[in-house]
Structure 1
Amino acid sequence: MVKGLDRKFTLWALAWPIFIEVFLQTLLGTVDTLMVSEISDDAVAVVGYSNQLFNALMTLFITVASGAGILIAQRIGAKKEEDARTIGIMSVSVSGAIGLVISAVLFFWPQTIAKLLNMPEDLMPLADTYISIAGAGMVLTAVMAALSTAIRNTGNTRGPMYVIIGVNIIHVIMNYGFIYGAFGFPVWELKGVAVSTLASRVIATVVLIMMFLPAFSRRITLPEFLRFDRKLFQEVLKIGWPLGVNMSCWVFTQLLIYMFIAMLGAAELAARTYMNTLESFCFMLGYSFALALQIQVAHLFGASRTREAYQATYRAMYIGLVVVTVNALVIFLVGGWLLGLFTEDKEIITIGVSLLGMNLLLQPGKMINMALGNALNAVGETRFTKYISIGSMWLIAAGASYVAGISLGWGLIGIYGCMIADEYLRGLLSFFRWRSRRWMTRSQAPASANASGGATAKA
């Protein structure tokens, strides 16, 4: 517990709504996978592959949203809420503009994009339908990401949680209707899943906007979304673009790994999609602590309380390690049964079961990496995390995966081994960087600037 900290910025107050939100998002993905598996394993492969594409494209606007979120928490910690308010407004408008361009490309050229990604030919008709419809909603995803990030970093992590609860309920009902023809819905199968995704995003965006307008002490008005402060936006990009590179390294290498797996066969691709769903339950609580930690550390850093930020990071990491390890062990014990809920294909189940033991090694590495990486990002060390991501993800997670999985013929086992090595290497490098405490000296600069600025204003 950090003494003297605003209650809404305590780790638990921040973490539990994020956990419920992440859990429900994961549940949404699981329900999607279960429902789509009723259509066919090919449909599952298309959804999994397409979602990797969408995640890759998200980095183009997450750069702005993530950088803005950190600065919002820092500015609130430094008692500069007007700056935080302006940063939040700009993040929404700029992210929306980028998302609009992405949506147009996906809607008009879905088959071209699928071919560039080496999508198997027999999956092309399904890919054309799903990418064009679900991809058209990327503008909504962009706005939702910016809104949720801004709201969370004001200390209100409950708001986005409530939105996700409502959206999950709506999405599941619509999925069921479109796949099975219930409630008078037409039987649209995979097309219906895409339409359901799009409709739920529309509803979530409207509600989040209503929540965002009063998020700061002075209510935001709609004309202010045209407001642009170049100096503040440069600060957002200074922190945000290395975060964007970091995230793009992850999603693009994951997309590349999916392409390698596609080279192994449709069964391996479906098995990886199912395993991805199971793995998400292992680390989601740890991820919630890591994301809450980032908000808390940014707030403490903005208030120049660096010693407390340093200690809070280790505490959150240890809690996360215990949680993800227990979760991974549970998945290891019941994973074979869970895979049987998704598919009856014995080959896919056998492949998935062979990866459950490796998941026990993967998840603790992810937790260490997430906690320390998020803490470094929160204090502005985004360039460091960018450099280690470029080196480790491309050389080990992607490059070595091709060698081990394809060239040496070790398949998914070889690819997973390289993913594990990447997580632990980045976690170890982040640990040494955090322990060096080099970032502490920079926290005094904002405080000094604020003090001198205040003195000038009074004069």
Structure 2
Amino acid sequence: MAAQKQRFKLVTDKKFYKRVLSIMLPVALQQAINMGVNMLDTIMLGQFGEVQISASSLANQYYNFFTIFCMGIIGGSSVLAAQYWGAREVEKVRQTFNMALRMALTLASVFAVLTWCFPAQIMGIYTSEAHVVEQGVRYLRITTFVFIIHGTSLVAAQLMRSVGQAQLGLIVSCVSFVVNLIANYAFIFGKFGAPRMEIAGAALGTLLARTSEFLVTFGYILFKDKELGLRIKHLLHMPGEEFFSNYLRLGLPVLVSDGLLGLGGNIVSIILGHMGAAVVAANAICQVIDRLFTVVIQGISNASSIVTGHTLGEGSREKAMQQGYTFYVLSIFFGLIAAVMVLACGPLTIAMYTLNDETILMTEEMMGAYAVIVFFQCIQSVMTKGVLRGGGDTKFLMKADILFMWLVSIQLGGVGGLLLGWPAWLTILALRVDYVIKSVWCISRLKSGKWIHTADGIAEEEPEKVTG
């Protein structure tokens, strides 16, 4: 049936906003804590100059590549988990967890082996500066042991949001923050009788923090949680054929899409890495402040995906459409706030680092570019990672991610930054121009109503015609 063009007013039901807040706030607080940890890491290593900041930043870009694959697993699985939870198909939700954890374990094992065997080659992809590579290898050697424990605990904790338990991720992040802060201070600077390890101390702090996350996450899910009731016995059985069919249809495109986005993000880091250590250091500082002020929009993105999935699981298409328009307006509002906050707090953040004059000027220029980027980042994030993904429109989103990042942003930024000698601020704008294009294209998709695709076995009501 062809989608009918409909007009919707914004949601006015207070219960809807309370539900959104119950998901958004724990996620936003969790992300704020994670960004706070990253900021502390960068500030602490910043006492040793641009080389160690650059090395840890580039090493973490490789690790971020892994986490983006994990987020692809989470995103694809969350589409099914949220819809099945809305339909009260608890056993199918357990099968979703089972599948996601198996995939995360396999992925983590591959990354761990590659990191242990080829750390110098991995760093060499991001930079040609030998002293940065040397420091990065020190970091990667220790974080080899992080992949399996963090990959599985990240997937498990994030999927719990799909069943209405967003607080678990917040609790886990609080524990991780305390452990990471103490361990970093002790091992980076050699306090409390610990050896002074500098960048290797930051890696060790990360390992200890991720271990605490693993223990808290699976301790709660497997032994305390009653609502989902996931136990070890449920993880020993392979999901059924019907589940695989649904996952391939709705979940696999998300994994492919996020994987290609992660690879594209690494290409962005490679381009910036070959523009010099000062550019990498400036971008690392800008990314911290950017992420710190987009935590709320990440919360809204998660909330919009989960609420949309639950609503469609209940069989209400028109309600999901109305909620989608509401989330769109919220994304514009919070995008503007984030842009203003980046401009206002950027100078204060830069003052916290020990940098030379060239890097300070470059960072100030890039901070202005990030203020523009963050506005469109908010809109496209709520649409691509939120509403449309929750609606199961994963194949469309895969095309959007592949086309605009790979055929526009990377090409334009690579030519400008590496061949034409553009300044860093203009290069980063070019590398993120896909955010602008996706913001416009996804709004058109939302209005069309063609983004709604439910899992097999979930009844869907016919939309009512809207007149006037």
TM over 0.5: yes
Distance 2:55 2:89 in 1: 46
Aligned to 1:104: 113
Deviates further, 42-51 or 340-349: 340-349
Aligned to 2:445: 433
Q: Is 2:384 the counterpart of 1:375?
A: no
Give the letter for the 1:229 counterpart.
P
Aligned to 2:261: 250
Aligned to 2:234: 224
Is 2:343–2:371's contact at 8 Å kept on the other side of the alignment?
yes
Q: Is 2:81 the counterpart of 1:72?
A: yes
Is 1:65–1:149's contact at 8 Å kept on the other side of the alignment?
yes
Is 1:405–1:413's contact at 8 Å kept on the other side of the alignment?
no
Q: Deviations over 1:313-360 (max 9, x none)?
A: 222232232223223213213312321212331111100111222223
Deviates further, 101-110 or 56-65: 56-65
Q: Could you tell me which of 230, 233, 238 is aligned with 2:249?
A: 238
Return the structure number with greater helix share.
1
Q: Is 2:130 the counterpart of 1:115?
A: no
Aligned to 1:209: 218
Deviates further, 17-26 or 430-439: 430-439
Is 1:243–1:382's contact at 8 Å kept on the other side of the alignment?
yes
Give the letter for the 1:202 counterpart.
T
Aligned to 2:178: 169
Aligned to 1:385: 397
1:99, distance to aligned residue in structure 2 (A): 0.9
Aligned to 2:435: 423
> What value does the CA root-mean-square deviation take over the aligned residues?
2.2
Aligned to 2:332: 321
Q: Is 2:153 the counterpart of 1:141?
A: no
Q: Deviations over 1:384-419 (max 9, x none)?
A: 111011110012221110122222221313322213
Q: Is 2:351 the counterpart of 1:345?
A: no
SS state of the match for residue 355, structure 2?
Answer: coil
Q: Is 2:315 the counterpart of 1:296?
A: no
Give the letter for the 2:141 counterpart.
S
Distance 1:173 1:338 in 2: 22
Aligned to 1:457: none
The 1:7/1:66 distance shift into structure 2, 3 A limit, reads same
Aligned to 2:193: 184
Is 2:126–2:269's contact at 8 Å kept on the other side of the alignment?
no
Give the letter for the 2:142 counterpart.
I
Distance 1:421 1:177 in 2: 41
Aligned to 1:356: 367
Is 2:316–2:460's contact at 8 Å kept on the other side of the alignment?
no
Deviates further, 392-401 or 216-225: 216-225
Give the letter for the 2:232 counterpart.
L
1:268, distance to aligned residue in structure 2 (A): 0.9
1:39, distance to aligned residue in structure 2 (A): 2.6
Aligned to 2:99: 90
Aligned to 1:284: 295
Distance 1:250 1:262 in 2: 18
Is 1:401–1:415's contact at 8 Å kept on the other side of the alignment?
yes
Deviates further, 380-389 or 135-144: 135-144
The 1:297/1:449 distance shift into structure 2, 3 A limit, reads closer
Q: Deviations over 1:23-63 (max 9, x none)?
A: 10111111111111123321110111111111213344433
Aligned to 1:409: 421
Give the letter for the 1:341 counterpart.
M
Q: Deviations over 1:49-94 (max 9, x none)?
A: 1111112133444333321122111001112111112211232233
Is 1:93–1:226's contact at 8 Å kept on the other side of the alignment?
no
Is 1:85–1:216's contact at 8 Å kept on the other side of the alignment?
no
Unpaired stretches in structure 2, ≥5 consecutive residues: 1-10, 462-468
Distance 2:77 2:28 in 1: 21
The 1:333/1:117 distance shift into structure 2, 3 A limit, reads closer
Q: Could you tell me which of 13, 36, 41 is aligned with 2:45?
A: 36
Aligned to 1:57: 66
Q: Deviations over 1:238-290 (max 9, x none)?
A: 32322122222322222112211222211111111111111112222112111
The 1:96/1:119 distance shift into structure 2, 3 A limit, reads farther
Sequence identity (%): 19
1:216, distance to aligned residue in structure 2 (A): 5.3
1:5, distance to aligned residue in structure 2 (A): 6.9
SS state of the match for residue 447, structure 1?
Answer: coil
The 1:134/1:384 distance shift into structure 2, 3 A limit, reads same
The 1:218/1:93 distance shift into structure 2, 3 A limit, reads same
SS state of the match for residue 457, structure 2?
Answer: helix
Q: Could you tell me which of 385, 394, 400 is aligned with 2:406?
A: 394
Distance 1:246 1:11 in 2: 26
1:445, distance to aligned residue in structure 2 (A): 6.0
Aligned residue-pair number: 448
